[in-house]
Amino acid sequence: MEAPPPYNLCNPNKKSAIINRSYALLHSIAITSLIFYRLSSFFHSTPSLPLLLAFTSELILSVLWLLSQAFLWRPFTCQTFPERLLQDKNDDELPAIDVFICTADPEKEPPLEVMNTVLSAMAMDYPAEKLSVYVSDDGGCGLTLYAMKEAWEFSRYWVPFCTRFGIKTRCPKLYFSRFDDEFLGQGYEAEKEKIKVQEAESNGKMLEEFNTKNHPAHVEVMQDESHNANGTNQVKMPRLVYVSREKNPSYHHHFKAGALNVLFRVSNMISNSPYILVLDCDMRCNDPTSAKQAMCFHIDPKINSNLAFVQFPQKFHNLSKMDIYDGQLRSTFLVKWPGMDGLQGPMLSGSGFYMKRKALYRDIVQEDTDFTQLKQYLGPSNELVKSLKSAKYNTDVTSRLLEETRFLASCKYEEGTQWGKQVGFLYMSLLEDYFTGFNLHCEGWKSIFYNPSSPAFLGTATTKLNDTLLQGSRWNCGALQVTFSRFSPLIYGLKSRMSLLQRMCYVYLSLQPFYFFPIWCLATIPQLCLLHGIPLYPKVSNSWFMVFSYIFIMSQLKHLEEVLSTGDPIRTWWNEQRIWMMKASISYTIGMLNAVLKLLGLKEANFVPTNKVADDEQITFYQNGLFNFQASTVVLTPLITLVTLNMICLAAGATRTIVDGSFNAMFGQIFLSFYVLMVQYPLIDGMIFRKDKGRVPTSVTLLSLAISASFLCFGSLIIKS
């Protein structure tokens, strides 16, 4: 008998694999030669400090390069066929889904935007009775609760409207910006107005007086008895639940992971759906069919037994054409994650994934685990433990049930339990997604990356240099918390079922912040030596020079090939090098400092939510591809210092080589300095030529000049001694 057609297909990209592997092979020969050249030169004469620093940088770059090849070894592309799934299964047979949406700060994450995300999720193309949306409000803000009630009101029109007319755009804000619909459009405007009035009536207090650190637990299931009682509204509606967990300064709240675990428990009592979709408050559902697409993997009997989650890429609605800050995270979502699809699957990426509930219980909840043991792991609620065994959907939410959910959302509940350690989203790192996903993969769970042509979700990308770099610092600090712990991918679970390549991917991310070392060394030491006429690279006429040139040119070409193969313009290649240098010198460095301070117990790690609102000025800069240098001094000064230093050294060093005729020996360093300045040209522009508000403040330029001068003086003393 012929096998039924599959719901999904995942195929290797043979062409990419051939290109990647040939490149990797030749490049590793070149790198080995470079290391051989350096080591053999050390035998002839004792290396100087600058030479040792340059060599250490080269070694770190080589190790990271080698690890990064794991992402490129077996690239895959997956497809889904939801129509086949729907032929086989009717609505009753589709599994239920709980959608978790987190918000924390009503100023950075305006309640109206959260409302739009919630409505887009409620209106997904999925049987309404199988969909429950849970909103976690870590701010405990009255205005957010109010906006959720309004979202519920409006959803009663919005959801049936979308279903009846097969509307593609299910985020109301976006829909009404494109299309007119008198009745509904007015309804939406009225909701917007109500939220504004509500805020105004409290004289702004609702936004100012919320207290993220101290508030009681609040759980509210949105329902409208009057409507159901008189039977006017027969349309089935997804459920909407507002949860604001208790916050108390004497308990650590574990940021987003803590919020997600509360939703996990509360939803267990109410809908207990076998699958969970996690969204950040700015990640709207763009393609309403994403749930069915995800189910094409989750229901497939061939792969579902150990499939933990289906990850969609994070995509953004506010990217400009230039995308100067690499907001699209191209290399992550278009190269690395598809690369991991050929291994055990992509890393968990915070938002836009469909997770199997059972996977988050890990191996603790088994058929034969007894009641008392489960309570030791999961806490004192009998009801919660009972709900594990019965996969039932609670249609009425009694006041007793609500009481229990408030208990589950209290600070004390997790005391002495395994939440965040072995169950649910894990707490040890600020990068809860990466760490949770790593643990799942260690236990043998798989994941799938699915990147449909129409984006499943659209979020808000950072459009300010400062926000981008600080967000990156938090991510890297989170990765390093894992690296510096017993869970470091280098050593943890070596006996687990994770393949070598998959592990290399995790190790790469865990060591990636170490790029900070080569970037700082190679942007300062060869330049200082250029000033003093000390060569660090072979002469142009020396055949070893070829090895260095080969490595540089080939990595540039490979990057270019990769950019073009993901359908991006050449400009992206250049942009990415710039923002990478900035991230490596700022985000990796700050992330490293924070992680080390945390390790020494000198600083608390903190998850400051990223700003999702931008003023017109900020948007204009961003849209025009102009860097906005209105950034904190800590972020900006190091960048400007590096550029100033390179300018001074290039000018003085080049003059010197002309005078003493040492161009042949110094070419490598002249080129390096020149390359840094070319890539970072917008910094020079912002420092010298720009007159607008986004220019580099003169105070920062002066401070940077002073730092560069001191570095050159001290550096010269050390070099000459």
Ligand X SMILES: O=c1ccn([C@@H]2O[C@H](COP(=O)(O)OP(=O)(O)O[C@H]3O[C@H](CO)[C@@H](O)[C@H](O)[C@H]3O)[C@@H](O)[C@H]2O)c(=O)[nH]1
For the annotated binding site, the residues are: 108-109, 138, 256, 280
CB of 687 to ligand X, least distance (A): 29
Site string for ligand X, 321-350 (x = CB under 6 A): -----------------------------x
Nearest by Cα to 484 from 513, 504, 445, 505: 513
- Residue 259 near ligand X by CB under 6 A: yes
102 or 648: CB nearest ligand X? 102
CB of 475 to ligand X, least distance (A): 6
76 or 325: CB nearest ligand X? 325
- Whether 138 is a known active-site residue: answer yes
Binding ligand X (rule: CB under 6 A), the pick from 76, 126, 176, 255 is 255
How many whole angstroms separate alpha carbon 706 and alpha carbon 686? 18
User: Which range touches ligand X (CB under 6 A), out of 288-296, 369-377, 425-433, 509-517?
Assistant: 425-433
Residues of span 603-662 touching ligand X by CB under 6 A: 607, 609-610
- Whether 433 is a known active-site residue: answer yes
426 or 666: CB nearest ligand X? 426
First-residue to last-residue Cα distance in the chain = 83
CB of 104 to Mn ion, least distance (A): 11
Contact 125, 91 (CB under 8 A): no
Angle at 437 between CA 277 and CA 432, to 5 degrees: 80
How many whole angstroms separate alpha carbon 25 and alpha carbon 456? 36
Residues of span 101-120 touching ligand X by CB under 6 A: 102-104, 109
Q: Minimal CB distance to ligand X: which residue?
A: 350
CB of 583 to ligand X, least distance (A): 13
Report what 162 binds from ligand X, Mn ion, none; CB cut-off 5-8 Å by kind. Answer: none
Contact 596, 514 (CB under 8 A): no
- Residue 351 near ligand X by CB under 6 A: yes
Contact 341, 449 (CB under 8 A): yes
Instruction: Read off the tokens for 189.
Output: 């405007």
Site string for Mn ion, 588-627 (x = CB under 5 A): ----------------------x-----------------
Binding residues for Mn(2+): 256, 280
How many whole angstroms separate alpha carbon 576 and alpha carbon 581? 8
- C-alpha torsion 473→475→479→482, nearest 10: 100
Site string for Mn ion, 263-302 (x = CB under 5 A): -----------------x----------------------
How many whole angstroms separate alpha carbon 685 and alpha carbon 24? 37
Neighbour count for residue 693 (Cβ, 10 Å) = 11
How many whole angstroms separate alpha carbon 434 and alpha carbon 420? 14
Residues of span 136-155 touching ligand X by CB under 6 A: 136, 138
Residues 6+ apart with CB under 8 A from 104: 137, 138, 139, 212, 256, 259, 281, 609
How many whole angstroms separate alpha carbon 15 and alpha carbon 54? 36
Distance of CA 251 to the CA centre of its chain: 26
- Residue 312 near ligand X by CB under 6 A: no
351 or 669: CB nearest Mn ion? 351
Report what 138 binds from ligand X, Mn ion, none; CB cut-off 5-8 Å by kind. Answer: ligand X
Tell me the CA distances in angstroms from 506 to 25, 259, 599, 619, one per residue in order: 22, 25, 21, 35
- Residue 511 near ligand X by CB under 6 A: no
- Residue 471 near ligand X by CB under 6 A: yes
Q: Which residues are catalytic?
A: 138, 433
The residue ranges that bind Mn ion (CB under 5 A) are: 280, 610
The residue ranges that bind ligand X (CB under 6 A) are: 102-104, 109, 136, 138, 255-256, 259, 280-281, 314, 350-351, 430-431, 433, 471, 475, 478, 607, 609-610
